[in-house]
Each structure stands twice: as structure tokens, then as C-alpha cells.
Structure 1
Amino acid sequence: MRPEIHLALHHNRAADLRAEADAYRLAAEAKHPHAIRTRLGWTLVEVGLRLASPKPALAP
């Protein structure tokens, strides 16, 4: 498989997963509207993962 196709598929799958996570988060929030601690916790996890992941190398 060509790298461009693989990257495009990866981006599509990542977008699908983000959409599923957002839908789940909204459904859970509707069920438990006072779950600020949970939302804050997941935000901190997301920030931590972004800080821990290496930056992609830019093409020259």
C-alpha cells in the first residue's frame, strides 16, 4: 500500500474515533450532567498525551 493512501486511511480512522468519542462524551454528559471531574480528568489525559507524543518531522 502506498504511504499516502495509508496516511489518508489513518486520518479517516482517527476522525471517526474522535467523532465516536465526542458522541460518547455527549451521551455520558447528558446522563450525568454534573460530571465535571470526569471531563476535567479526560482533558488532562488528552493534554498529557499531546505533550508526551513526539512532534512529527516537517518535510524539507
Structure 2
Amino acid sequence: MHPETQLRLHALRAAELRREAAEYALLPRAAQHPIRTRLGWTMVELGLRLVHQPPLGAARAA
């Protein structure tokens, strides 16, 4: 790809990302983190806790 073309595409994408970030910043807090996202992260946290706990009936090696 020609360097000037690549630079122009980069500038367009950067402007698009800045516009999306500005729109996101204007959203209310509740809209930024919908219940689905919060529920998903809660499930991930719970899963990690379960993985790091030893089983209740763990057999001991003699």
C-alpha cells in the first residue's frame, strides 16, 4: 500500500475512534455498563474463585 494512502486511512480511523470515544463519554453510567456485562464479569469472578478452591473431599497422599 502506498504510504500516503496508508496515512490517510490511519487518519480516518483515528477520527472515527475519537468520535466513538466522545459518544461513549456522553452516555450515562448505566448505559456504559449494561446488566449483561456486569453479570458476565460476576460469573467470571465466581468461576475463578471455584477453580482456586481445593475440592472438599480431597484425598491425601500418604
- TM-score normalized with structure 2 length: 0.48
Q: Which has the larger radius of gyration?
A: 2
